[in-house]
Structure 1
């Protein structure tokens, strides 16, 4: 569990609600059903319209990374590569076959299998970099979905505000109905701006950060596997890969 993500969301909405209370406002004034339907429904509709089903499905799946990010540890990765290099130095590349079968990470397993199959270092790099680039591109597309939602939400909020004002203008002769229209107008704007800046944009940036960290890890893994293929000394490989920690 990413405690910082949870803390950030709690603090963001606590600040909005707490500030409203400090100004003497009532919590109920910030809850408006029509405004929520307009902003949330409109934002989702616009996002669905622009996004293909595979990208949307992947984005929904990766949203959990905000709180449950995939485990990535450069230290652990370096340790694994060094262990592989020691085994390869003692038993040859074929000695890695058992490790490849037991490896949990698909990317590392593919690299180990290529080593066992005797792939040349350049071939190894080309194959793994294609995998890395394709995976990175798909993950970044998921982040862009939330970025798009952050762009749409304030605009939809303005639409909600205009619709509320239209309701006010068409019911000027009925003072009792003016309050609902005015509330929808202002609360819709708050919903749009708050969702964009307190949720959608931060989620998009969080996902990008996770993607960058995974890419750095897999770049490190590629360098380590190529060093093994070239027969480098395990100590030299460790010193080389520790450069990724800086």
Structure 2
């Protein structure tokens, strides 16, 4: 689990609380039901209207991953592939059928089974590239959904403020209530901006980043598996895969 999103959002709302406290304001003045219902309910509603029902369901299913998702660790994949390279050189490609049956990752399972079945390298590459592209395209759906919510929320907040200000203008005959009513009117704009920048956009960026890391790892696995199929020495496979990973991502070599 990578808690970056949870920590970041908590710190963001903590900064908001600190500002409210330093300004000697009241948190209760910010948590008003009517503007929050409009901003959150309206944002989610127009997000649903802008796509398809499967898109929305995909976004809901991806939400836990945004907070609890584990970033891909390429060094684990490299170690596994180097072991497979050594196995193939000593036992042959058919021995990978056993590894395919035990593999938890469907992508690795398909790759190993195809090597054991004697699939040509070019055909295997096309198959794995198609799987990677499908994975990336699938991951873009929930990320784009939350990104869209981040774009709608501020505008809906402004709409809520306009509605509230209209109500204020209807009650100009009571000057004593104008101050609180005007202050309350801007709460909708506040929550529109806050929800976009504290929630929706960070969630979209997090899902996009996790997807990028996973796709990069899948690409690394593909190149490693193809090197294993070609019978490359384990040391060469290890060095080649490490060269594909940016500095600082891999632990220091033993």
- TM-score (norm: length of structure 2): 0.92
- Taking only aligned residues, the RMSD between alpha carbons, in angstroms, comes to 1.5
Q: Is the 8 A contact 1:55 1:138 kept in 2?
A: no
CA apart distance, 1:245: 2.0
Matches of 2:76 and 2:2, distance apart in 1:
19
CA apart distance, 1:86: 1.2
Query: Which sits farther off after the overlay, 129-138 or 167-176?
Result: 167-176
Query: Which sits farther off after the overlay, 128-137 or 165-174?
Result: 165-174
The aligned counterpart of 1:122 is 122
List runs of 5+ in structure 1 lacking aligned partners. Answer: none
SS at match of 1:245: coil
The aligned counterpart of 2:109 is 109
Matches of 1:152 and 1:32, distance apart in 2:
20
- What does 1:75-94 align with in structure 2 at a 5 Å threshold? 75-94=75-94
Q: Is the 8 A contact 2:155 2:192 kept in 1?
A: yes
List runs of 5+ in structure 2 lacking aligned partners. Answer: 247-254
SS at match of 2:231: coil
- TM-score (norm: length of structure 1): 0.95
Q: Is the 8 A contact 1:120 1:229 kept in 2?
A: no
Q: Is the 8 A contact 2:71 2:214 kept in 1?
A: no
Q: Is the 8 A contact 1:216 1:244 kept in 2?
A: no
The aligned counterpart of 2:251 is none
CA apart distance, 1:111: 0.7
Matches of 1:150 and 1:231, distance apart in 2:
49
Give the length in aligned residue pairs: 246
Cα deviations by residue, 1:20-75 (Å, 9 ceiling, x for unpaired): 11111111111111000110111011000012122221211111122211452110
Cα deviations by residue, 1:100-146 (Å, 9 ceiling, x for unpaired): 00100011111111111111111111001001101101101211111
SS at match of 2:69: coil
The aligned counterpart of 2:221 is 221
Mapped pair 1:192 → 2:199: no
Matches of 1:179 and 1:167, distance apart in 2:
13
CA apart distance, 1:181: 4.0
Matches of 1:166 and 1:190, distance apart in 2:
17
The aligned counterpart of 1:240 is 240
CA apart distance, 1:206: 1.1
